[in-house]
Amino acid sequence: MTRTVRALSMFSGGLDSLLATRVIKDLGVEVVALHFTAPFIRPISRGASERGVEYWRRVLGVTVREIKMGPEFIDVIRAPMYGHGKNLNPCVDCKIFMLRKAATIMETERFDFVVTGEVLGQRPMSQRRDTLAAIEKHSTLRGRLLRPLCAKLLAPTIPEEEGLIDREKLFDFSGRSRAPQLALAAALGIADPPGSAGGCLLTDKNYAKRLARLLSIQTEITDAGFELLTIGRHFDLDGHGTLVVSRNENENHLLERFRGAATFFLEPQDWPGPVALILHSENPAHVTLAARFMARYGKIKPGKTVSVQPIVAGEPFAIGAEPIDEETILRLRINS
């Protein structure tokens, strides 16, 4: 009797990892897809197509397991062995980090190998031949990391050598063109294939600037701290305190959720305008400054004054403020 071959697949929800998972599953392998989550990774359940884990479970016919990256990933962002990409994205180290977690699961749960959707030469930094080799080496998966979409361009892996996987059924995709992947998706009958997974928020210039500043003033960052970086306009108050001003009605509600973490929460009094949070500062001058930012983004005419209600420890009091000048905005804003 032949035994069941079992593999873990690194599944981002993008086209390449979908194809890699499907190709290996179609070879009769029992596949468990690992989907890593972090506050800076847009979850597939909230992606543009609203395709969540349940959707992929159904379509792929494999178990999809969500795994949290965990706070230890902050050290990887701070000091990656292979450096950052264009912004704060440590892609090579990130892949190593995730594959090490997969390697542990492989060992403890007796899987035969791990699959990724990597394509040789598709990304300039993380998918070069030497980088693919380094990722494999540091992942501790030596010989048990199979890249089905470009396997024929790489040395045979242990599952291929042991005859668990027929190398002839694998592919030789390389380069940046998506055409071979789309053709494969069509051949496999995958209607409406997803696009590439794209980069996480660490690849976003403004998000990276906000996060870099936070990393320079805080040792630990909570999930809520990461989330706050995606909301509102951010300003630097004397190097340590932060002012966040909402950009629209929806963000007014979102910022309300962070009220408990703020030293001051400011609401407009009797006029429609943004709300503001002050974090890590009890300086009264910053409250007045925040009120002036609110007046500016509430589109109050220069010279006119509005009333703002700062709330601290449940004690509201009213202050008047006129709009802040552009020069101060440029000097204090964290993102460009």
List C-alpha distances in Å: 76 to 67, 83, 210, 290, 330. 17, 10, 17, 34, 31
Distance in angstroms (rounded) separating the CA atoms of residues 225 and 75: 16
Q: φ, ψ for residue 242 (rounded to 5)?
A: -130, 140
Sign of torsion over alpha carbons 76, 143, 102, 55: positive
What is the footprint of ligand SF4 within residues 32-51 (CB under 6 A)? 41
Residue 102 as a binder of ligand SF4 (CB under 6 A): the answer is: no
- Cβ(214)–Cβ(312) under 8 Å? no
Query: Shortest distance, CB of residue 41 to ligand SF4, whole angstroms?
Result: 5
Residue 47 CA to its chain's centroid (Å): 12
Residue 274 as a binder of ligand SF4 (CB under 6 A): the answer is: no
Q: Which stretch binds ligand SF4 (CB under 6 A): 22-30, 115-123, 159-167, 198-206?
A: 198-206
Residue 211 as a binder of ligand SF4 (CB under 6 A): the answer is: no
| Nearest to ligand SF4 of 95, 147 (CB atom) | 95
Q: Which stretch binds ligand SF4 (CB under 6 A): 13-21, 136-144, 170-178, 200-208?
A: 200-208
Residue 200 as a binder of ligand SF4 (CB under 6 A): the answer is: yes
| Nearest to ligand SF4 of 91, 287 (CB atom) | 91
Distance in angstroms (rounded) separating the CA atoms of residues 199 and 183: 23
Residue from 45, 140, 203, 263 touching ligand SF4 (CB under 6 A): that is 203
| Nearest to ligand SF4 of 89, 242 (CB atom) | 89
- Cβ(317)–Cβ(218) under 8 Å? no
Residue from 15, 202, 211, 289 touching ligand SF4 (CB under 6 A): that is 202
Residue 94 as a binder of ligand SF4 (CB under 6 A): the answer is: yes
Residue 139 as a binder of ligand SF4 (CB under 6 A): the answer is: no
Residue 91 as a binder of ligand SF4 (CB under 6 A): the answer is: yes
| Interface size with ligand SF4, residues (CB under 6 A) | 10
What is the footprint of ligand SF4 within residues 226-255 (CB under 6 A)? none
Residue 138 as a binder of ligand SF4 (CB under 6 A): the answer is: no
Q: Which stretch binds ligand SF4 (CB under 6 A): 85-93, 144-152, 188-196, 315-323?
A: 85-93
Residue 119 as a binder of ligand SF4 (CB under 6 A): the answer is: no
| Nearest to ligand SF4 of 16, 251 (CB atom) | 16
109 is written with which tokens? 């749960």
Q: Which positions touch ligand SF4 (CB under 6 A)?
A: 41, 89-91, 94-95, 199-200, 202-203
